[in-house]
């Protein structure tokens, strides 16, 4: 079906492209927000550095913390992780879900003063398809055309109702940059885009500075800030993102007034500061999921009964309590409890059993021979290592010898790709759970699945059902199938949802924790 013969149908509503919801799941107790005030500068103390300032090439949370101030996309996510229009003012999806027509907002200018037009969008997407680690999102695209300066038409090779779910992701945001930057290779572009802040400088590791973009055009379609989108306003003149890897330095720097806000504050320190009138602390829970994929090809976890024994042995409350200093919620599922996909009968899953007798019985039934289990993790993120250490003690307690392998991040990942080297990998997912089921496909099914199963028809069928589902009920049912399959086969040990503490000076107004730190729509009193 060619797009010229398309039968246009507004399907935005069906796809959940909604105006901001009135209640946010992560909302704080109402903050005494003063009247917005322009001016002032803020220093954000981050725990990790971004690896790149090329939005198409970036992927990590550390990158989002800094770069989402500068960059914007056609479709982004709202507070709940649902898709929301940002640089597009309208989206029409053809009835067969094969043609997506974006109407661009007018008068949006890049930080170099040039107005953003359809050509910039087309070229940006084309560059994305070349350089981005997430270029697979554009694989379904057949053609991109620009009938006029403010319309972009994307035609897919096959009908795909969930395509918006793929392109909304802020991990490797599908950022619109000026067309003249689009021929440049990864890491070679000038960081010019359309966000409320514009890039000043970056020293590569320790600090990145942005300042307010005076000609920023806020998105009037929305009332206020919403996720990465909504009506964004920069009140601050300048924001400096500093990388302060030592948590105690972030805390003491905040107390000394060197920083406006500190990310990932240790819980004991946050509790100590709560009583101070100069400091405000924030809970961001959940921020990510601690979980552990199990390798089904290497003994002893090649035996499903051994995997189930481990599942019954785990006391996830203790694991999460230590790995998060008490800031966690128990959750057996791979979506958050407020998600529309959350299985209604989640309590039937095997989770947080702490049942050593049952575990030992299962081991006996399995004919377990005493093979050593290798538990892999990375020391670069403390909570992953802490979860692994506690898990190891619990697994040892049912009589399985455990070798904990703690490597730095690249080393651990190299090992994760070798199915002969380990049994269980203690890791975390940050963005997937928030974006919903669709982002999981390549991790838990198909040839690249993290458990190394060769064939699982139940799983693949459930995925087919999910991707082709027409109604929300069907989708929920398919996802529930997947969740229960993961639990039943003990492919994936879900440990819990982790929270983090952030803390700012009391002068910072209207801040709310989110996936990344957002310094727009905040001001200093």
Partner 1 sequence: MTEAAIAVARSTPLPPWQLKLRRLFRHNGFLIGIAIFSTVLLATLAGLFGLAGDPLKINYTSRLVGPSEDFFFGTDNYGRSIFTRVIDGAHLSMLIGLSVVGITAISGTLVGASAGYFPKLDGLIMRCMDALMAFPPLMLAIAIAAALGTGLTNLIIALAITYTPRTGRIVRSAVLGIRSAEYVESARLSGAGHLRIILRHILPNCLAPLLVDLTFVFAYAILAEAALSFLGVGPPPPTPTWGNIIAEGRDYMVDAPWISVFPGLVIAFTVLGLNLLGDGLRDVLDPRLVKN
Partner 2 sequence: MLDVIVRRLCSAIPVLLGVSLVTFGLIHVIPGDAAVVIAGPDASSEQVESIRAVLGLDKPLHVQFGLWFWNLFQGDLGDSFMLGRSVAQAIQERLPTTLLLTTYSILLTIPFGIAAGLIAAYRQNSWVDTFVMTIALVGVSVPSFWLSVMAVLLFSVTLGWFPTSGYIPPSEDLLGCLRSLTLPAVSLAVFQIGLLARMTRATTLEVLRQDYVRTARAKGVSEWRAVGKHALANVMIPVVTVIGLLVSVALAGAVVIEQIFVLPGLGQLVVQGILRRDYPVIQGSLLAVAVLLVLINLIVDLLYAYLDPRLRND
Subset of residues 122 to 181 that bind partner 2, contact rule: CB under 8 A: 131-136, 171
Q: Is 167 left (phi over 0), alpha (psi -120 to 50) or beta?
A: alpha
Mark the segment that binds partner 1 (CB under 8 A) among 9-17, 261-269, 365-373, 434-442. 261-269
Answer yes or no whether residue 386 interacts with partner 1 by CB under 8 A: yes
Among 48, 247, 330, 507, binds partner 1 (CB under 8 A): 247
The edge-to-edge listing of strands for the beta sheet with 88-93 is: 88-93, 99-104, 151-156, 141-148
Q: How far is the CB of 318 from partner 2 (least distance, A)?
A: 23
Q: Which does 266 bind (CB under 5 to 8 A by kind): partner 1, partner 2, none?
A: partner 1
- Strand-strand pairing, 88-93 and 207-212: unpaired
Among 48, 221, 285, 322, binds partner 1 (CB under 8 A): 322
Q: Do the beta carbons of residue 326 and residue 496 sit within 8 Å?
A: no
Q: How far is the CB of 295 from partner 2 (least distance, A)?
A: 14
Residues facing 100 on adjacent strands = 93, 154
Mark the segment that binds partner 1 (CB under 8 A) among 34-42, 139-147, 245-253, 336-344. 245-253
**DSSP helix/strand/coil, 304:** helix
Mark the segment that binds partner 1 (CB under 8 A) among 227-235, 285-293, 380-388, 456-464. 380-388
Nearest to partner 2 of 202, 351 (CB atom): 202
Name the residue among 502, 371, 363, 498 with its Cα closest to residue 428. Answer: 498
Name the residue among 124, 212, 113, 210 with its Cα closest to residue 173. Answer: 124
Answer yes or no whether residue 330 interacts with partner 1 by CB under 8 A: no
Among 36, 39, 204, 224, binds partner 2 (CB under 8 A): 204
Q: How far is the CB of 240 from partner 2 (least distance, A)?
A: 10
Residue ranges in 314-431 assigned as alpha helix (H): 316-324, 356-366, 382-396, 409-416
Nearest to partner 1 of 305, 406 (CB atom): 406
Cα four-point dihedral sign 127, 138, 439, 231: positive
DSSP state of 74: S
Answer yes or no whether residue 325 interacts with partner 1 by CB under 8 A: yes
Among 258, 283, 340, 380, binds partner 1 (CB under 8 A): 380
The token pair that represents 93 in the structure block: 């999806």
- Strand-strand pairing, 238-243 and 207-212: antiparallel
Q: Which helix (H) or strand (E) holds 477?
A: helix 472-488
Answer yes or no whether residue 268 interacts with partner 1 by CB under 8 A: yes
Subset of residues 248 to 277 that bind partner 2, contact rule: CB under 8 A: 248-249, 252-253, 255-256, 258
Q: 451 Cβ partners below 8 Å, 6+ apart? A: 293, 294, 295, 296, 444, 491, 492
Answer yes or no whether residue 392 interacts with partner 1 by CB under 8 A: yes
Name the residue among 518, 523, 26 with its Cα closest to residue 228. Answer: 518
Answer yes or no whether residue 266 interacts with partner 1 by CB under 8 A: yes
Q: How many residues bind partner 1 (CB under 8 A)?
A: 28
Q: How many residues does the chain have?
A: 525
Subset of residues 34 to 63 that bind partner 2, contact rule: CB under 8 A: 49, 51-54, 57-61
Answer yes or no whether residue 405 interacts with partner 1 by CB under 8 A: yes
Residue ranges in 218-315 assigned as alpha helix (H): 247-255, 267-274, 304-313
Diameter over CA atoms, the chain = 71
Interface with partner 1 by CB under 8 A: which residues?
246-248, 251-252, 266, 268-269, 272, 318, 321-322, 325, 379-380, 382, 385-386, 389-390, 392-393, 404-408, 411
Q: Name the residues that contact partner 2, by CB under 8 A.
A: 49, 51-54, 57-61, 131-136, 171, 185-187, 202-206, 242-246, 248-249, 252-253, 255-256, 258, 380-381, 407-415, 417, 427-432, 439, 442-443, 448
């Amino acid at each position: 079906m060619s797009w010229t013969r398309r039968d246009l149908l507004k399907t935005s509503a069906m796809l959940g492209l909604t105006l901001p919801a009135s209640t946010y799941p992560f909302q704080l107790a109402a903050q005494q927000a003063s009247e917005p005030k322009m001016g002032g500068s803020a220093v954000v103390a981050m725990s990790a550095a971004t690896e790149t300032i090329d939005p198409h090439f970036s992927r990590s949370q550390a990158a989002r913390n800094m770069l989402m101030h500068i960059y914007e996309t056609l479709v982004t996510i709202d507070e709940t992780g649902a898709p929301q229009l940002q640089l597009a003012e309208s989206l029409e999806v053809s009835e067969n879900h094969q043609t997506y027509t974006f109407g661009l907002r007018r008068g949006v200018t890049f930080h170099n003063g040039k107005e953003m037009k359809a050509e910039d969008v087309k070229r940006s997407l084309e560059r994305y398809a070349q350089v981005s680690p997430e270029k697979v999102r554009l694989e379904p695209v057949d053609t991109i055309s620009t009938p006029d300066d403010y319309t972009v038409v994307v035609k897919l090779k096959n009908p795909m109702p969930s395509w918006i779910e793929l392109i909304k992701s802020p991990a490797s945001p599908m950022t619109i940059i000026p067309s003249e930057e689009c021929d440049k290779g990864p890491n070679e572009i000038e960081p010019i885009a359309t966000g409320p802040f514009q890039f000043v400088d970056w020293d590569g590791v320790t600090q990145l500075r942005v300042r307010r973009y005076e000609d920023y055009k806020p998105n009037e379609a929305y009332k206020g800030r919403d996720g990465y989108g909504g009506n964004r306003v920069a009140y601050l003149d300048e924001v400096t993102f500093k990388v302060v890897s030592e948590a105690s330095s972030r805390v003491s720097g905040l107390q000394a007034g060197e920083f406006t806000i500190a990310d990932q504050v240790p819980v004991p320190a946050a509790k100590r500061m709560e009583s101070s009138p100069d400091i405000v602390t924030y809970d961001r829970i959940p921020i990510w999921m601690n979980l552990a994929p199990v390798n089904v090809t290497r003994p002893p976890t090649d035996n499903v009964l051994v995997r189930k024994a481990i599942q019954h042995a785990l006391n996830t409350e203790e694991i999460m309590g230590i790995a998060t200093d008490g800031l966690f919620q128990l959750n057996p599922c791979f979506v958050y409890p407020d998600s529309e996909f959350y299985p209604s009968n989640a309590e039937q899953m095997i989770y947080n059993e702490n049942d050593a007798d049952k575990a030992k019985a299962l081991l006996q039934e399995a004919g377990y021979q005493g093979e050593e289990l290798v538990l892999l993790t990375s020391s670069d993120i403390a909570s992953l290592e802490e979860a692994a250490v506690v898990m190891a003690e619990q697994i040892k307690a049912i009589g399985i010898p455990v070798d904990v392998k703690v490597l730095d991040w690249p080393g651990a990942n190299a090992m994760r790709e070798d199915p002969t080297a380990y049994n269980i990998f203690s890791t975390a997912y940050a963005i997937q759970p928030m974006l919903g089921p669709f982002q999981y496909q390549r991790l838990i099914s198909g040839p690249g699945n993290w458990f190394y199963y060769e064939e699982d028809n139940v799983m693949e069928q459930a995925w087919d059902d999910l991707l082709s589902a027409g109604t929300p009920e069907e989708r929920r049912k398919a996802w529930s199938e997947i969740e229960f399959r993961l639990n039943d086969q003990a492919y994936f040990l879900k440990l819990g949802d982790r929270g983090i503490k952030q803390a700012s000076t009391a002068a910072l107004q209207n801040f709310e924790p989110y996936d990344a730190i957002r310094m727009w729509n905040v001001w200093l009193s």
